[in-house]
Structure 1
Amino acid sequence: MPMLAHTSQLLEKLVRIGVMALVILVALIGFGQFTDNRILKVTLVYLVVPPLVGLWLGRCALQGRFSIDNARLYLPLLVYLSISILALLGASNSFLAAEDLAFQFCLFALWIVVAHHFRDLAQVMKLLWVVVLTALVVAVIGILLPVVLQSRGIQILSVSTLGNPNFVAHYLDVILPLAGAMLLLPGRKRNRVVLLITLVTTGFLMLLTQSRAGWLAVGIALVFGLYARKGRTRWVRVAVLGAVVLALLSPSLGLVADNVHLGGEEPFSGRLDALIQEVWERVKSGFDPGDFSVAQRFIIWADTLSLIHAHPLLGVGPGNYVLELPPHRTVLRHQIQKELVGLREVPMTWHAHNEYLEFWSESGILGLAALLWLLGGLLWVGWRRLQTGASPEAWLLTLGCMGGGVATLVHCLFSFNLRDPSSATHFWVVAGVLVAVVSMGPQPGKYALDVVLRGIWPRLSMGIIGVGVVLVGWHVGWSYVMGDYFYFQGEKIYRRDNQSNLVAASLQRAIEWRGHDFQYHYLLGLSHLENGQYEAAEASLRRSLELHPHYALSLQLLGRTLFYLHRDDEAIQLLEQAARLDPLEDRVYSTLAMVHRRQGDHDQAVEVWKRALALDPQDVQLINGLGVEYGKVRRHKEAIAVLEQGIRIHPDEGLLQGNLGIFYFQTGAWTKAENALLLAADLMPERPTWWRHLVNIYKRQGRLEEALSKAEKDLKKSPQSAPLKLRVKILHRALEKSKR
């Protein structure tokens, strides 16, 4: 028995150490040989949380008892997971849905593990100190790294170890209220100094993120804290005292700021003034409907509401939001977004930038209701604890945890905090601490589940379940990270040399690890296509479309592949579908027009070229394509008008000059034709077609000998010129034929 008790305590200690390690690593680790900073962080959740659950279940097996407290909190969780599983069954990519749901399961499991393994104030404080000190490191890196790099002429945003200013703001939503509450705890002055430094540095980093939603979220959390205090006036006294001290020190601080230089000649005070001005301008821009972020969110929210309307009850399945959204964007919203991004490539919409809308779209109104029930219940138990008698330490910790939760849930109105691995991990850890603090002390009769494991088989079953959870988590985690690793290697090789066989080899390994990602198959198909392997390209692109039926790029490439394989009817069907999904992509129309041209449907091809040219009126290939298509249906005047307009934009474009010369010749404007073709021959000397048409002009004018004589004189001046040799050869052959 002592041995069992010792082992049980060891397992519990290992769980607590694992939670602390996860908190540190998920905040500090990042980048590496992966497509996104979040890849390693998500992988950590998959690899660390299941073993924590396994250790917990192993401890339960040793003790012969499995108990979970707080029944009211976990009922909505069970409802939500049940609904999400039902939604998964109807998902278009069920493997992606299962992977996403596994990530959510890990986060919920982390919440429960923390709530049941940090049962006294000392354990809670150790965990929260790990959270706060890690945040201090993140803040110092986020503040100093840009300064150091700017001194070397490298401009970088304050992303710290989190990869994106918005992700930094997500993370700080949890940290700032928690650190503020901990600062008010009774204790050593040294601890308060550390907490004050953490609060100042993380607050400054929050300003540097330029995240308006983050500022709003933390502001609302502060208002919530002040409201919750009510009769407790110590915060007010501290705030007043701080303001007085700051006012007294302001002259000295100003002098120091004027004489401190960080990474350049400009004093710190100048940078601070600039930051204040930037913050103010950023705040004002939040009320501007034309602001990029604001307008972008309006577009995405409108698309998401359309998606919700189509799948209101159970949604499209976890993780399938990105797959099902594209058909719901209207042409008008495509146009607005195109104006917003300008010449940049329009990004794929991965998230709704509103967690509640995204959960609604993926799990339906039933799933959203269960999630809100869960989150509301969590806040309610915390609020009840604030209203009842509690020690100052427990009261302030409850307030800090609730403040972090409130800030996160407010920010969720504008972003995806609960899907960002760093912020989501910290949110659910703090939620677990909240439950632990609320549950401190004896709670008889409040078990959600209390099962006594009598005999060897129930205990063995519990252990097997724990091992199964670990194995599944590790399988998902390793598949996730290794798939992305090989995909990223293939992508890098492709950018250096798209003809390399190593591209396909690396992507094949990525697919072996994680075959349900449509992007892997798309890039493999693109690589096959550019190497002329059309059948292999077709297979890869069709698999990509099985995984993402509305991926316009795969539809476009598959249409082009079928065009090369002379399967025109199938190509037209796919290209028209791609055009409906992305009506502003001119490359789709150019390929579609070429298919219609080969089928002899030149009138339809003309209309398609027009649509493409309307999207990009200055594109040389589109101008030339429409001009040539007009010529196919003998509408020479329109062809000449289009090409002349193109030459006014691109006067040195040989292709336009040459085709314009051909149409001048066909309409009898020989002088214009000669001038245009001569210019085209100078601009594109490698194309003999221009001289073949010039030969026809000279034959009709009886000037072949004159043209040959001039070409021979030019060749004597430049005897090594291959274009001149070709010109003399063509003219000489034409002159011989004319004398026969």
Structure 2
Amino acid sequence: MQQTSEKTETRNKSLLTSSLVTIFFVSPLLFFTDLTRNPYYLQITLLNAALLSAGAVLAVGAARKKSWELPANILYAPLAAMLAVSALSLFRAYFSHAAFFRPAIASEGTRVALFTFANCALVFLLAQKVPFDKEPLRQSTAGWLALIFIWGGLWLLFPELKASASGESLFSRFWDPYGGFLWLAGAAAAWFLARNFNQEDFLHLAMAAGAIASLYGVLQYFQLELIWPKILNPYGNRSVSTFGNPNFISSYLVMLLPFVLAYLLAAKRPAQRFFYGFLFLIYEAMLMASLTRSSWIGAAAALAAVFAFREYREKFLENRKFMRWFFAAALVLLVLWPANSLKPFTSGLAERFSEGSSKMLSPSAFSLDVKPFKVYASFHQRLLIWSCAWQMGLESPLLGKGWGLFELFYPFYQGALLYAFEPIRPFRTHANNAHNELLEVFSQAGLLGLGIYVWLLAVLAAGFYRHYKNAPSDSRYWIIPFAAAMTGMYMDNLFNVSLHFAVPAFIFWWLLGAFSKKLSGAEFSVKSASSSLILHTSPLTRRMPALNTAAAVVLAVFCVWGINCWRAQFMREVYYFKGFKVMRKNDFAGAAAALKKAYDSHPREVNSNYEMGNAYVRAGDLAAAKWAYGEALNSNAGYDEIYFNLAIVNKKLGETALALDNLKVSAFINPLNNTVFHALAELYVKDADVNAKEAAEIFESAVGLFPADANLLNTLGYFYTRLKDSRRAKESYARAVKLNPRDTMLVQNLFGVAAQLGLKDDADLRWFKAYKEVEDKLLAGDASSVQASADRLVALDPGNLHALGLRAKVRFKAGNTAKAKEDLLAILAADPRENNARYGLAVVYEKEGDFENARREWDKILAAEPNNAAAAEHLSKLPQ
């Protein structure tokens, strides 16, 4: 019986090792560019499948023994409470919202619940099962160096040795003989290095994967792509490496950096110093290549936390001869890292921190109602997101909006702020998280969730203080990097979202589990490479075998369901990408078929379902399109474009009331899309008398957002006439005429409503007559009096850009280029997008012989209008 038990333990340890090697080594590095639209979806699927497989191993073992054999841990209670409150908040949200939102709440809630349990709680539990070695410092680093440089170096041959895809099948796009051999060899090498099944070796496996990813990312930064046919730069000059997002790899490295520093300071041999010194510098280089300032702050906080303790200051002094030179090199790398690899040198560190500093020095900049010249995109977009998160929490202070529902409901809070604060309108976004960990919790789990979260952190801090105060020096030394890693990650996530994405979240929850395990006095020992774990079973688990078995069965079923769910989601992404590509080839029926397969694989993904709706529309199947857009809303009801497209389908199907409702929701979510208002106008006028009051209210808001849209003003004027409010109608028509005085219909509407009001000598009528007088004299060539007429026109409304533009023409024709230039510059100061004025200004510069300024203006025009042939011709004829 004892022998069978040992065999089972050995088998389970091997299975767990395989899963953890997949998670620590394969998942962070594996991605495909032609398999799914998100090239990194496979690594997310692998990570979750491996986690759930490991969870199933734990569950089977617990069911067999009728005991979980988990060590005591100071965080079990707050974590259980946090999970309970998260579930309660989601449950409340489901029943407190309108039935329309419930499918989307179930969809988004299930997605985030799976992440919370598998990518967070299960990771924490798995960390409890892996013991610490008695000797943290690795005696040999040769294996880890070989994994990084030999295995990583073999990928340099991949472009030459890879086979061409033999077809469009999943296998042909997934499998390559040389690439497959490398991955099998790498996984085997990683398994061998981590075979002793301890925390230290898995940490080194994470550090080795981080080093390989960092090397790749640094090469990316300098435009060197050695594996794929083209540079992968979805974030411009910011390297994504193998993680898909610069913010993710940077956070991952922030967590590992304190451990690298601890090993470097403790290193006694040159080979150890070389290995850990290399890790430190390549991590630093990758952090710089990511250009992620929040992670720079996190890394600085983590390193500062390390040196806040006497043990590390003493270690530095012991090794000061080496460390001084080493940190001098690190400082040079930090300061001299280029801001852009393709431009003349400027310091990346200085440029990234200085670019917004001039705008953020006054308190007035820390507001959504900021002056335009003080707007800083990176900060004010976050401030917009934080404001919405705060409103979500205030709406339901106790339990928040519902755990996992931030992305679903965020757009419904953003629209009103965009309407109220013009300077932040360019920063409209579809935020998936709050970009601040405290607001993340408050917005979705309320004060109750935030209180438990603070309780968790307080327990962790108290445990660390107690451990540091009472533990021997060596134990204190090796516990400090855990505290520093937590500090760095939390500082990073005061501005970042990486705690809510697969790979960085995994390393955080693993280290949190290991950290709390140490603080709880549960440092398991490993007797030998083949020994079983020395576990301590709590009295609670011994007394409740039936409950333990039931919990194990529930976990096993959940893990099997979760693995199948991830398999289905992965196949959905494969079919989605296929449909996306076929759609771009204008094969709409083929795209719809592929996207329907994606839906059949897993029906709850908003982007795939939305694309399916678009394919059905293009294929002419409106009924199917209506259904597909409905399924997109059932997946996530927070996208304005779905409502808009569905409204157009409703309109074509004769469902006017539904079309109106969907257009109104689209306008509420995204009031910056003026196309929605024009579509609303088309529907409202069909029954103008019934809709006039509601339409007038909506279009009053619309013209506040688009004051230069003459058509919207004309529509507003029309509905005021239907309401018999001639005064407001006249004001709307007058504003429209001043925006487009050549539009005959607008002029007729203005004069018509003025006649109804009995107005004959109105200021707006005088303005139009003066404009028409100048225009007529200009056409007739009446140079004697046209300049005086133009001056009188501008005096009537000095801020009107059409009047200024007309006077600029008059002055230019009279040969007064200096005065014409004044008017054109005034127009561009008021509206830099006014390319007609810019065109005139460029011509003036040419006439004055100022070819440098002329070239600048022609370049600006072509940047906005690349197909402007006249501007291109002017530019080509300028003297070099």
Aligned match of 2:779: none
Q: Secondary structure at the match of 2:69?
A: strand
Equivalences for 1:149-548 in 2 at 5 Å?
149=224, 156-229=237-310, 233-238=314-319, 242-243=323-324, 271=345, 273-282=346-355, 284=357, 287=360, 289=365, 290-329=375-414, 331-334=416-419, 336=421, 339-340=423-424, 342=426, 346-390=428-472, 392=474, 394-438=475-519, 439-440=522-523, 447=538, 449-451=540-542, 464-465=553-554, 467-497=556-586, 500-548=588-636
Query: What letter matches 1:415 in structure 2?
Result: N
Q: What secondary structure, in the 3-state scheme, does the structure 1 residue paired with 2:498 have?
A: coil
Instruction: Compute the TM-score of the two structures, normalised by the length of structure 2.
Output: 0.64
- The residue number in structure 2 matching 1:145 is 220
For residues 422 and 318 of structure 1, what CA distance do their matches in structure 2 show? 20
Which residue of structure 2 lines up, in the alignment, with residue 703 of structure 1? none
2:649 pairs with 1:561: yes
Alignment of 1:33-182 (within 5 A): 33-36=35-38, 39-63=41-65, 65-90=67-92, 91=94, 92=102, 93-106=105-118, 107-121=120-134, 123-149=198-224, 156-182=237-263
Deviation at 1:200, TM superposition (A): 0.9
Alpha carbons of 1:448 and 1:126: their partners in 2 closer, same or farther (altered >3 Å)? farther
Change (3 A) 1:341 1:25: farther
Q: CA deviation at 1:234?
A: 1.9
Post-superposition offset of 1:353:
0.5
Paired residue total:
644
Deviation at 1:599, TM superposition (A): 2.1
Indicate how the Cα distance of structure 1 residues 283 and 61 shifts in structure 2: closer, same or farther if over 3 A, else same: same
Q: Is the 8 A contact 2:29 2:243 kept in 1?
A: yes
Supply the distance in 2 between the matched residues of 1:40 and 1:375 (Cα, whole angstroms): 33
Q: 1:378 touches 1:431 (CA, 8 Å); kept in 2?
A: no
SS state of the match for residue 20, structure 1?
helix
**2:22 paired with 1:21:** yes
Question: Displacement of 1:74 after TM fit?
Answer: 0.7
**Structure 1 residue 606: deviation in Å?**
7.8
Q: Is the 8 A contact 1:115 1:435 kept in 2?
A: no
Cα 1:631–1:478 shift into 2, 3 Å: same
Equivalent residue of 1:34, what SS? Answer: coil
CA distance in 2, matches of 1:224, 1:263: 32
Q: Deviations over 1:322-344 (max 9, x none)?
A: 112223235343564x74574x9
Q: What is the alpha-carbon distance in structure 2 between the residues aligned to residue 444 and residue 347 of structure 1?
A: 49
SS in 2 for 1:162: coil
Larger deviation, residues 326-335 vs 479-488: 326-335
Distance 1:647 1:660 in 2: 8
Structure 1, unmatched stretches of 5+, are 649-655, 673-740
Superposed, 1:554-593 pairs within 5 Å as 554-593=642-681
Q: CA deviation at 1:240?
A: 7.1
Q: Which amino acid aligns with 1:19?
A: L
**Would the aligned equivalents of 1:76 and 1:371 in 2 still touch at CA under 8 Å?**
yes
Give the structure-1-normalised TM-score. 0.76
On the 8 A contact 1:185/1:396 being kept in 2, the answer is no
**1:128 partner amino acid:** L
Deviation at 1:76, TM superposition (A): 1.4
1:194 shift after superposition: 0.8
Instruction: Output the amino acid matched with 1:129.
Output: H
What secondary structure does 2:430 align onto?
A: coil
Return the letter of the residue paired with 2:297: L
Give the letter for the 2:579 counterpart: G
Contact 2:45 2:570 in 1 (8 A): yes
Distance apart, 1:70 and its partner CA: 1.8
Equivalent residues of 2:69, 2:537 under 8 A apart: no
TM-superposed CA distance for 1:407, in Å, is 0.7
CA displacement 1:380-436 (0-9 Å, x = unmatched): 3334322223352x4333111221111111222112222121211111222233244
- Assess, with a 3 A threshold, how the Cα gap between structure 1 residues 318 and 511 changes in structure 2: closer, same or farther: farther
Return the alpha-carbon distance in structure 2 between the equivalents of residues 4 and 406 of structure 1.
41
Cα distance between partner residues in 2 of 1:492 and 1:625: 40
> How far apart in 2 are the matches of 1:175 and 1:68?
26
CA contact (8 A) 1:563 1:571 kept: yes
CA distance in 2, matches of 1:448, 1:291: 57
Deviation per residue, 1:211-268 (Å, 9 max, x gap): 2221222222222222233695222454575336777x99xx99xx99x9x988x9xx
Cα 1:292–1:202, aligned 2, differ >3 Å: closer, same or farther? Answer: same
Q: Compared with structure 1, are the counterparts of its residues 619 and 126 closer, same or farther at alpha carbon in structure 2 (3 Å cutoff)?
A: same
Matched letter for residue 533 of structure 1: D
Does the 8 A contact of 1:182 with 1:396 survive in 2?
no
Measure how far apart 1:48 and its partner are: 0.8
User: Counterpart of 2:542 in 1: which secondary structure?
Assistant: strand
Shift of 1:363: 2.3
Matched, 1:7 2:95: no
Change (3 A) 1:566 1:96: same
Query: CA separation in 2, counterparts of 1:191 and 1:286?
Result: 46
Question: CA contact under 8 A between 1:504 and 1:524: conserved in structure 2?
Answer: yes
Secondary structure (helix, strand or coil) at the match of 2:217 reads helix
State the Cα distance separating 1:72 from its structure 2 match. Answer: 2.9
* Cα distance in 2 between the residues matched to 1:70 and 1:283: 48
RMSD (CA atoms) = 4.2
Q: In 2, are the aligned partners of 1:83 and 1:363 still within 8 Å (CA)?
A: yes
Task: Kindly indicate whether structure 1 or structure 2 has the higher relative contact order, using CA contacts under 8 Å at least 6 residues apart.
Answer: 1
Asked whether the equivalents of residues 55 and 466 of structure 1 are also in contact (C-alpha less than 8 Å), the reply is: no
Could you tell me the percent identity over the aligned residues?
A: 21
Secondary structure (helix, strand or coil) at the match of 1:67 reads coil
SS of 2:239's equivalent in the other structure is coil
